[in-house]
Amino acid sequence: MAFHYPFAFWFLLTIPLLLLLGALFGIKIRNDRRRFASAELYDNLTRSLSRTKKKIGYFAFMIGLFFLIIACTEPRFGTKTEIIRRTGTDVVIALDTSYSMLAEDIKPNRIKQARYEIHHLINNLEGDRVALVAFAGKTFVQCPLTSDYAAAKTLLEYIDVGIISEPGSDIGGAIEGSLELLKKGSEAGSESQIIILFTDGEDLEGNIQNGLKQSEERGVRIFTVGIGTTGGELIPIRDDNGQVEGYKKDRNGNVVKTSLDDKTLMDIASKTNGSYLRSENGEVDVEIIIDQLGRMQKSDIHERKISRLKERYQIPLGISLMFLLTWLIVGERRKDMEISRQRIKI
């Protein structure tokens, strides 16, 4: 048994207080009565009053008050099972963690700006579930589908360049991994599933077409968000103090210059009926994605059974009303027949 408002039990202290006041008031009445008239005269004057009814009414009032206070605590016992269904969209956000995301053509750098935009996107989700996928040479699920946005944002902060040991940039693998996550963890239809890629578009594995084919077959839309500039930038290598000590080089010893691949990202979005967004002045208009999410068809993305305690305040409330009605109906006066019999005896 549980009580929703246990503090209401303090009101039970009013019952002994009322009993004490009633006793004191009764003593005062008896003292006043002795000064007013003799016992015999008083009995004759109050023949129409019934002491028995008075006592019954008094105790009925106290019992009614007791159960009324119990009802105010809202007692709960016994369980009932409820099915909770939530409708919305399942959103998988895939974030590129390859070394090219350290380029600083977008300040402070590409990976930090992408995390900022994803954080803003999650803040604007309502009723949808979100998952986080990090990818470089391989794909890693950082956060499964969840409606706990605070947890998702916390896990987002741990996604950084180097979180995946295998270097490279496999966008096709990221798409396939995101689709697999939706297949295993989502109960929504494809019309309520979406993948959002945050990347500079550089793909070193050449598997994009495989991922696109699977996405097209399942009807899952992909939105691409380009992080970087087409002009390109060198990839700085910094020491523990944050000072630049050099720039990333390829296997031949040449300094690597990375640039945003607009064409690849537009092609991915176009083939999956998604949209392509590009960073402008370091920021991305993620409101466009948020607006698209609002227009998408919602599905039952989550269903769970929960057990709740049944509210039982009706029981003490019903008992309380019964005794309070008894108090009101009984009154204090005797029936006319009883009064007439007493007159005859006199």
Same domain, 163 and 225: yes
What is the C-alpha separation between 14 and 219, in angstroms, rounded? Answer: 68
- DSSP letter string over 112-161? HHHHHHHHHHHHT--S-EEEEEEESSSEEEEEEEES-HHHHHHHHTT--T
Q: What is the DSSP letter of 280?
A: B
What confidence score (pLDDT) does residue 336 get?
54
Domain that holds residue 40: 2-74+313-345
Range among 74-78, 96-100, 201-205 with highest mean pLDDT value: 96-100
* CB distance 284 to 225 below 8 Å: yes
User: Which single residue is written with the structure tokens 């080089």?
Assistant: 249
pLDDT at 117 exceeding the cut of 60: yes
pLDDT at 226 exceeding the cut of 90: yes
Q: What is the mean pLDDT of residues 122-135?
A: 92
Structural domain count, the chain = 2
Residue 82 tokens, joined: 């409820």
Note the pLDDT tens digit of each residue in 228-248: 998 889 999 888 888 888 888
pLDDT at 169 exceeding the cut of 80: yes
What is the C-alpha separation between 147 and 80, in angstroms, rounded? Answer: 25
Note the pLDDT tens digit of each residue in 297-309: 776 555 556 677 7
Pick from 95, 172, 99, 84: which is nearest to 131 by CA? 95
Same domain, 271 and 337: no
Note the pLDDT tens digit of each residue in 10-27: 989 988 888 888 888 878
Note the pLDDT tens digit of each residue in 49-63: 667 777 788 888 889
User: Which single residue is written with the structure tokens 């968000």?
Assistant: 225
CA geometry: angle 110, 112, 117, nearest 5 deg: 95
Same domain, 57 and 95: no
What is the C-alpha separation between 184 and 140, in angstroms, rounded? Answer: 15
β strands within the chain, DSSP E: 2-3, 75-88, 90-96, 129-135, 139-146, 193-199, 221-226, 233-234, 236-238, 244-247, 257-258, 276-278, 299-311
Same domain, 96 and 55: no
CA geometry: angle 175, 301, 294, nearest 5 deg: 75
Whether residue 80 lies inside any domain: the answer is no
What confidence score (pLDDT) does residue 337 get?
43
Whether residue 189 lies inside any domain: the answer is yes
User: Which single residue is written with the structure tokens 């109906």?
Assistant: 329
- One-letter amino acid at 103 equals A
What confidence score (pLDDT) does residue 294 get?
76
What confidence score (pLDDT) does residue 160 get?
95
Same domain, 240 and 97: yes
Q: What is the mean pLDDT of residues 142-152?
A: 93
What confidence score (pLDDT) does residue 344 get?
44
More confident residue, 83 or 242: 242
Pick from 192, 198, 175, 223: which is nearest to 129 by CA? 192
- Percentage of the chain beyond pLDDT 90 is 43
What confidence score (pLDDT) does residue 18 get?
85
What confidence score (pLDDT) does residue 21 get?
87
pLDDT at 66 exceeding the cut of 70: yes
Whether residue 69 lies inside any domain: the answer is yes
What confidence score (pLDDT) does residue 291 get?
83
Note the pLDDT tens digit of each residue in 304-337: 566 777 888 899 999 999 998 988 887 666 665 4
Please indicate, yes or no, whether the overall pTM of this predicted structure exceeds 0.75. no
Same domain, 42 and 100: no
CATH number at residue 253: 3.40.50.410
| Distances in whole angstroms, Cα of residue 213 to Cα of each of 131, 172, 282 | 22, 10, 32
* CB distance 126 to 163 below 8 Å: no
Note the pLDDT tens digit of each residue in 268-283: 999 999 999 987 666 7
Residue 317 tokens, joined: 């409330």
Whether residue 79 lies inside any domain: the answer is no
Q: What is the mean pLDDT of the chain?
A: 84
